[in-house]
């Protein structure tokens, strides 16, 4: 069976598909920022010696890390209006679901980074009379973040790829637009090949940006 590739058809819709980039990046950026904030709080509380604090944090992390992203997206989209009576748009539901999921992954990164900081620095800060909050913000986190950047970079890229799942909810991102064109032109191979290249470029640019930030922070930490 022969197949005649028609990439000219795919390129004729390139402009339409590229209009989904702001949506894709918007969902990704908002979910990552939400995840970073949630993860920081959960990661610190996860280290608490009080079990009534740490155990719920562990449960949150394990629960949301072990549920498929697609299931979380659909659950938030359909269940939040039913359980809470709040009507969320598909974009908001997708961002919220991915943000909560990101928080679970980032919490473990924060925890590992904080635990990797030299205890001597913490003890020195405490001996100088610094509060726990001041020590965490000014002593622990600056050192930990440098070590956490590679793990964060991997997760940033992962959530950029996870964002393609929001097309299931009808969010007009890159994948949704490619699906619409594919259904119209009956050229899925060409369109999804082009879509793969677009995602590769976006992920590559993001990885390079994080790499540059990591190098800058490494250089800054030497002085």
| pTM (predicted TM-score) | 0.88
Fold category of 21-174 in CATH? MetI-like fold (1.10.3720)
Is it the case that residue 171 has pLDDT exceeding 80?
A: yes
pLDDT tens, position by position, 58-69: 999 999 999 999
| Eight-state DSSP code of residue 186 | S
Which of the four pLDDT bands, split at 50, 70 and 90, describes residue 220?
Answer: low
Instruction: Give the domain ranges of the chain.
Output: 21-174
pLDDT recorded at residue 130: 83
Cβ contact 12:82 at 8 Å = no
Give the list of residues 6+ apart from residue 89 with CB closer than 8 angstroms, or none.
none
Which residue's structure tokens are 């028609």? 6
Residue with more model confidence, 170 or 138: 170
pLDDT tens, position by position, 40-58: 999 999 999 899 999 999 9
pLDDT tens, position by position, 115-146: 888 888 777 877 877 888 888 888 888 888 88
Q: Torsion-angle region of residue 170: left (phi > 0), alpha (psi -120 to 50) or beta?
A: left
| Exposed/middle/buried for residue 30 (C-beta within 10 Å: 0-12, 13-18, 19+) | middle
């Amino acid at each position: 069976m022969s197949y005649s590739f028609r990439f000219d058809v795919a390129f004729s819709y390139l402009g339409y598909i590229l209009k989904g980039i702001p949506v894709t990046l918007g969902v990704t950026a908002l979910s990552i920022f939400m995840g970073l904030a949630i993860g920081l709080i959960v990661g610190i509380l996860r280290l608490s010696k009080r079990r009534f604090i740490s155990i719920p944090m562990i449960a949150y992390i394990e629960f949301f890390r072990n549920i498929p992203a697609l299931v979380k997206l659909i659950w938030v989209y359909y269940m939040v209006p039913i359980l809470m009576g709040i009507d969320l748009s598909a974009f908001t539901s997708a961002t919220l679901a991915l943000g909560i999921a990101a928080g679970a992954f980032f919490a473990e990164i924060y925890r590992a980074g904080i635990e990797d900081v030299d205890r001597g620095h913490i003890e020195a800060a405490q001996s100088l009379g610094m509060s726990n909050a001041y020590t965490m913000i000014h002593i622990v986190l600056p050192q930990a973040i440098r070590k956490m950047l590679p793990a964060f970079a991997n997760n940033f890229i992962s959530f950029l790829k996870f964002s393609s799942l929001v097309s299931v909810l009808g969010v007009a991102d890159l994948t949704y637009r490619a699906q619409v064109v594919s259904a119209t032109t009956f050229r899925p191979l060409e369109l999804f090949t082009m879509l793969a290249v677009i995602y590769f470029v976006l992920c590559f640019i993001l990885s390079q940006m994080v790499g540059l930030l990591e190098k800058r922070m490494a250089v800054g930490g030497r002085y």
